[in-house]
Amino acid sequence: MRPVIKKQKVAVFYPQGFLDGNSASELITVPDMQAVRASNVTVVVVSMKRVVFFNKNGIQIILDALSKLQKEMKLTIGFCDYNKQQYEAFFKYFNKDVPFSLFMTLDIAMLFGGVHKEEEKDGNVLVWHEDPTQRSMQAIEVYDRGFTPVVAQTEEDFLARRKDEKLFYAVVEMSYLGLMANRIAAKTRGNCVIYYLKGFLDGSVTEQFDVLYHQNCLKVGFQLFMFDATRVSSLNIHAANFFSRLSTAGAEYGALIAIVGLDMEKTPKAFVEELEDAGIMFFENEADFFADETVQSMSGGGAAVKKEKNKLTKAMVAKLPVFVDATLDTLEMMTGMEAVKEGMNVQAFDAWGGEALMGSSIAFYGDIDGRITLVMPRELVKKACALLIGEESDDTEILADALSELVNIIAGKSKTHLQESRTNINITLPRNYLELEDLRQTLEGIQGVQVDFSFGDYPFIFYLSP
Amino acid sequence: MITAEQIGMYLKSVPPLPETLRKTLEALDQGDLAGAAKEAEKDRALVFYLKGVVNSAAFGFKSELNDVPQIFSALGIQRARQLIYAYMVASMAPEAWGYFDLDTEHFRDFQVTMMRQWETIVKAEGAPESFLAASALLGAGLVVADAIFAERAEDVALLQSMEDLTLDTILERISGVDFAKLVGMIAKKWEVSPEVLEVVLLAFGKKACDKEATPCRLAKLLHLLLFYALSRPAMMRAGVNGFVTFNPAFSEDVMARFQEILEIA
């Protein structure tokens, strides 16, 4: 069974029915494990929401497959979406020594997997576990992901606080953390990517840092990268070199890297100077960072990709029909409407105004590099995403999420079709634009291929750019 | 992706009950096993199917049954009726499956095993044997799903890599109809009795029902049986596990009984 990949960070298997020693062996097969490896996720979970029966044999077989992936990829593995009876059964089967993580819901698994809602501000997370060690561990992991844990000390305290559930970004209960993936947590705030560092930083930072995620962020236009070092005790030359290299690599994208909250007294002066020479800025706290003039000038809207060597190439234009067909086929499938091509030009991005528009872009790299951008009226997004979300929603966050998935599907389809002609690409995370102005800024000064379509009464822009 | 028109066309292509089978079923209605066997003998494909099924390990008859009256006599009225509907479903199935990784033999095994287990359940519950036919009809959903999605396997795989969507959910969101409705339409075309049809439709677990009523209780057990069957290794391998959406809450109150009857521990 292939897993569902959420936000390119969490892989979820959704078995249905009965998981025993016979059926469990078919849940995560060798090709399924390969799909997980290719996805570069940090968490793999099995959802129990539609499992009505399981036994120890079944769980052990699944665990064998998950453990292999854990060892190879340093993943967090476990189960989610269970009820109380199932939760207790896990502990019974493993004599309370559960060698995996348990997340009461997929949302909690996503939280610990470092998946945050776009534009999400800092939030409080209520944490409760009867075991004090688990409680502390969960609180630390929550904190590591940029949230403020509110730890209930007794069950009564927890139940009382949970009455105001709306005050919390999430409530963590009936969950258990086994061996966790040791990746540096990241989240986005507006146009800025924030990484959370901790402890003494040495050469292992290169293993803990998700380079692919960082590169993807650069490719989709993020320019501001803040490393929260408020919980860093100090760093050595290897870590300093890592940041220096990161800054140099980001320069061609016009990226700015800042380290915030580093204890300067414990950090060798020579390291700081070397990092400053590499273009890294230092700030005492987050407020100073966001108030800085340079930072503000870069965070107003979309970040323009400055990578100069990227130009619209013949090879990319030759593949235009693949991208366009994948886009139209997907949108026709999702909306049940037929598309009509209105025109195609090599030009700067030019969107009409006056309507509530939403945009999303996704970059690709490999044998050819570039970016697909789709712009459509909000009403068309609603129609196109109804298949994914089950109904026409007007909630901007839900629509933006569904639009990301739509763009992901289009890119995935293009990738498959390109492979048929032996052109291999990888795709980044999608980036949404709720304000057209942000998108205009992102694509400013770039020449791409713009194809205008209409779906019934709705206009639609496909833009392929370097 | 899939239009209502395409689904309508497909349903039109499903054959009605052939005259021979109608007469066979009528004879069974009248309790005339010999008459039913006489009619059934006229359909060579049916005879071939019946011989294959009744002589399989699942039925466990001591000696091989080759004679049609002998087969009908060994089966009895309701099991014979169940097998006639199973035959109709099997005759709808493609020679080469397009979406699921199934073949004729695996599909027949799925049908037969499920029918036998359903018989155990119906008997254990003391329900009328006329309900035996219900399990045979559920397999029609798989055949329909394969026909509808065979050409769009790549799109389905992409959608399913993004969201937790069963084929039933995708179909419903695209076309407004679900497999329960489609199976119901086929069952009506085959003149299935309203009582059996009610159990079949409820067994998809999408509608609440009166838990005191026999059809409701049977539908809950059949819902569990369907997912028990779809969880078997061969069906997991065939990609059938995500065919329709399992609703554990629908069958929660009969789960213990289900485990007890089929001795699942």
Q: What is the CATH number of the domain that holds A294?
A: 3.30.750.24
Query: Would the pLDDT of A190 be above 80?
Result: no
User: Is the Cβ pair A52, B174 closer than 8 Å?
Assistant: no
CATH of the domain at B101: 1.10.3210.10
The CA distance from B144 to B160, in Å, is 19
> Chain B interface, mutation test: which of A23, A32, A48, most B Cβ atoms within 10 Å?
A23
Q: Tell me which residues of chain B, numbers 165 to 184, contact chain A at a CB-CB cutoff of 8 Å.
A: 165-166, 169-170, 173-174
Whether residue A237 has pLDDT greater than 50: yes
Residue A269 and residue A388 in one domain: no
**B232 touching A (Cβ < 8 Å):** yes
> Does some domain include residue A304?
no
Residue A32 distance to chain B (closest CA, Å): 11
Question: Which residue in A51, A329, A387 is closest to B173 by CB distance?
Answer: A387
Q: Which residues of A touch B (CB under 8 A)?
A: 1-5, 12, 14-20, 22-23, 25-27, 29, 47, 49-53, 55, 329-330, 332-334, 336, 386-388, 390, 405, 408-409, 412-413, 416
Distance from the B162 Cα atom to the nearest Cα atom in chain A, whole angstroms: 5
B157:A2 CB<8 A: yes
Q: How far away is chain B from the Cα of A179, in angstroms, using its nearest Cα? A: 26
Domain that holds residue A166: 4-172
In a domain, A308, yes or no: no
Residue A303 has pLDDT above 50, yes or no: no
In chain B, the residue whose alpha carbon lies closest to the alpha carbon of A404 is B162
Domain co-membership, A420 together with A363: yes
Q: Which residues of B touch A408 (CB under 8 A)?
A: 162
Give yes or no for B63 touching A (CB within 8 A): no
Banded pLDDT at A336 (limits 50, 70, 90): confident
Q: Are residues A252 and A274 in the same domain?
A: yes
Query: Any chain A CB within 8 A of the CB of B251?
Result: yes
Supply angle C-alpha A30, A57, A47, rounded to 5. Answer: 65
Q: In this structure, what token pair is assigned to residue A105?
A: 């819901």
In a domain, residue A194? The reply is yes
Residues A89, A133, single domain; the answer is: yes
Nearest to B232 among A4, A23, A386 (CB): A23
A258 and A379 both lie in a single domain? no
Nearest residue of B to residue A408, measured between CA atoms: B162
* Closest-CA distance of chain A to residue B189, Å: 29
Report the chain A residue with the minimal C-alpha distance to residue B160.
Answer: A4
Residue where a domain terminates, one of A274, A299, A324? A299
CA distance B159 to chain A (A): 7
Indicate whether A256 and A125 sit together in one domain: no
Do the chains contact at B246 and A52, CB–CB below 8 Å?
yes
What's residue A288's pLDDT? Answer: 92
**Which of the residue ranges A281-285, A406-410, A443-447 would you say has the lowest mean pLDDT?**
A443-447
Do A281 and A349 fall into the same domain?
no
Q: Which residues form the domain of B161? A: 4-262
Chain A residue at shortest CA distance from B225: A17
Helix (H/G/I), strand (E/B), else coil: A183: coil
Distance from CA of A27 to the nearest CA of B (A): 7
Q: Looking at CA atoms only, how far is residue A452 from chain B in angstroms?
A: 22
What gap in Å lies between CA B152 and CA B154, rounded to an integer? 5
Range scoring the smallest mean pLDDT among A37-46, A352-361, B214-223? A352-361
DSSP letter for each residue of chain B: ---HHHHHHHHHHS----HHHHHHHHHHHTT-HHHHHHHHTT-HHHHHHHHHHHTSTTT--SS---SHHHHHHHH-HHHHHHHHHHHHHHHHS-SS-SSSS--HHHHHHHHHHHHHHHHHHHHHHT--GGGGHHHHHHHHHHHHHHHHHGGGHHHHHHHHHHS---HHHHHHHHHS--HHHHHHHHHHHTT--HHHHHHHHHTTS-S---TTSHHHHHHHHHHHHHHHHHTSHHHHHTT-TTSS---HHHHGGGHHHHHHHHT--
Mean pLDDT value across chain A: 87
- The more confident residue out of A421 and A29 is A29
Residues of B in contact with A49 (CB under 8 A): 248
Q: What percent of chain A has pLDDT over 70?
A: 95
Per-residue confidence band for A308, with pLDDT thresholds at 50, 70 and 90: very low
Confidence grade of residue A302 (pLDDT, cut at 50, 70, 90): very low
Q: B6 pLDDT exceeds 50?
A: yes
| End position of a domain, from candidates A253, A276, A299 | A299
Same domain flag for A66 and A98: yes
Residues A407 and A322 in one domain: yes
Question: Is the pLDDT confidence value at B188 over 60?
Answer: yes
Nearest residue in chain B measured CA to CA from A22 = B233
Q: Which residues pair with residue A192 across a beta bridge?
A: A189, A224
Local confidence band at A299 (pLDDT 50, 70, 90 cut-offs): low
B120 touches chain A (CB under 8 A): no
CATH of the domain at A324: 3.40.1550.10
Dihedral sign computed on CA atoms, order A162, A163, A166, A167: negative
Q: Which band of pLDDT confidence, cut at 50, 70 and 90, is reported for residue A386?
A: confident
Q: Minimal Cα–Cα distance from B198 to chain A, Å?
A: 22
Tell me the chain A residues in contact with residue B206 when contact means C-beta distances shorter than 8 Å: none
In a domain, A336, yes or no: yes
Confidence of residue A118 (pLDDT cuts 50, 70, 90): low
SS3 A409: helix
Chain B contact set for A16 (CB, 8 A): 166, 227, 230-231, 241-242, 245-246
Q: Does B237 touch chain A (CB under 8 A)?
A: yes
CA separation (Å) from B103 to A76, B90, B109, B235?
38, 11, 10, 11
C-alpha–C-alpha distance, residues A316 and A367, integer Å: 9
pLDDT of residue A304: 44
Does residue A257 carry a pLDDT above 90?
yes
DSSP SS3 for A348: strand
Query: Are A106 and A9 part of one and the same domain?
Result: yes
Q: Which of A299, A323, A344 is the last residue of a domain?
A: A299
Query: Per the CB < 8 Å rule, is B231 touching A15?
Result: yes
Does B251 have pLDDT greater than 80? yes
The CA–CA distances, whole Å, from A42 to A12, A111, A219, B106 equal: 11, 12, 21, 37
**pLDDT tens-place string over residues A152-170:** 999 999 999 999 888 899 9
In a domain, A306, yes or no: no
Residue A63 has pLDDT above 80, yes or no: yes
Best to test chain B binding among A53, A81, A408, A427 (most B CBs inside 10 Å): A53
> Å from A3 to nearest chain B CA?
6
Cβ separation of B173 and A386 shorter than 8 Å?
Answer: yes
pLDDT digits (tens, 9 = 90+) for B73-98: 999 999 999 999 999 999 999 999 99
- Examine the pLDDT at A109 and tell me if it is beyond 60: yes
Domain count, chain B: 1
> Do residues A168 and A190 share a domain?
no
Q: Which residue has the higher pLDDT, B119 or A356?
A: B119
Residue A404 has pLDDT above 60, yes or no: yes
Domain count, chain A: 3
Interchain proximity A2–B154, CB inside 8 Å: no
Report chain A residues whose CB lies below 8 A from the CB of B251: 52
Average pLDDT on A374-396 reads: 85
B264 interaction partners in chain A (CB closer than 8 Å):
18, 20, 53
Residue B210, chain A, CB below 8 Å: the answer is: no
Q: Is the pLDDT of residue A119 over 70?
A: no
Tokens 């970059």 belong to: A363
Q: What is the pLDDT of residue A301?
A: 45
Specify whether A206 is located in the same domain as A164. Answer: no
Assigned domain for A179 exists: no
User: Between chains, do B236 and A5 touch, taking CB under 8 Å as contact?
Assistant: no
Which residues in chain B have their CB less than 8 angstroms from residue A387's CB? 159, 170, 173-174
Q: Which residues of B touch A23 (CB under 8 A)?
A: 231-233, 236
